[in-house]
């Protein structure tokens, strides 16, 4: 399916813009490989320098973070006219909760879910990419559904 309204372009974001957008939200979607299958978890995170930090408890996220496979974290946002998405890919490292870590980004990283979240994980990126685009009016799509191209409804 395709719509046209002036073929508004998708903006490919540079790394600095991606990091700025990531700093503006606190929840992303962590993708990990578990038993050969992808699993996705919502996590709240902090950008720390040019890496991503999150807390977790014992379980799937922690086991996957300590494993040999790369991970990805997607974050997104929108306003009334535009939407964006940023994807960070890299290696997850389970950290020791050092005084330096706890005094820095770890100090303000509060999980939303109750329970023990004593493990800190840092995603060291191998790549970061992002896109931003203008949100198309739903009416644009409705016109195409109601009268598909090439069909006369009269």
* pLDDT tens-place string over residues 115-143: 676 788 999 999 999 999 988 877 766 66
User: Ranked by mean pLDDT, which of 11-25, 59-73, 107-121, 139-153 comes out on top?
Assistant: 11-25
Residue 101 or 28, more confident: 28
The tokens 């509060």 sit on which residue? Answer: 110
Look at strands 82-95 and 11-13 and give their pairing: unpaired
CATH number for the segment(s) 5-146: 2.30.110.10
Residue 76: CB partners within 8 Å, gap ≥ 6?
25, 83, 84, 85, 86
- At 88, the pLDDT band (50, 70, 90 cuts) reads very high
Q: Which of 8-12, 21-25, 85-89 has the lowest mean pLDDT?
A: 8-12
* pLDDT tens-place string over residues 23-80: 999 999 999 999 999 999 999 999 988 999 998 888 888 888 888 899 999 999 999 8
The tokens 């990283």 sit on which residue? Answer: 109
Give the global pTM.
0.79
* Alpha-carbon span 24 to 51, nearest angstrom: 14
* Alpha-carbon span 75 to 114, nearest angstrom: 22
Phi first, then psi: give them for residue 44, nearest 5 degrees: -95, 145
pLDDT number for residue 1: 41
Residue 74: CB partners within 8 Å, gap ≥ 6?
28, 29, 31, 85, 86, 87, 88
**Domain-by-domain residue ranges, the chain?**
5-146
pLDDT number for residue 83: 95
pLDDT number for residue 118: 77
Reading phi first (left if > 0) and then psi (alpha if -120 to 50, else beta), residue 16 is in alpha
* Alpha-carbon span 118 to 105, nearest angstrom: 14
């Amino acid at each position: 399916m395709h719509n046209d309204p002036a073929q508004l372009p998708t903006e490919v974001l540079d790394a600095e813009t991606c990091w700025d957008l990531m700093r503006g939200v606190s929840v992303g979607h962590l993708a990990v490989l578990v038993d050969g299958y992808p699993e996705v978890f919502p996590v709240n995170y902090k950008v720390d320098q040019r890496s991503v930090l999150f807390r977790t408890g014992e379980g799937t996220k922690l086991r996957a973070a300590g494993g040999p496979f790369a991970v990805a974290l997607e974050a997104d946002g929108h306003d009334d006219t535009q939407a964006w998405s940023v994807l960070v890919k890299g290696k997850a490292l389970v950290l020791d909760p050092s005084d330096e870590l706890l005094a820095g980004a770890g100090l303000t990283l509060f999980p939303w879910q109750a329970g023990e979240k004593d493990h800190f994980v840092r995603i060291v990126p191998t790549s970061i990419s992002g896109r931003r685009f203008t949100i198309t009016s739903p009416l644009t799509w409705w016109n195409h559904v109601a009268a598909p191209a090439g069909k006369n409804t009269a």
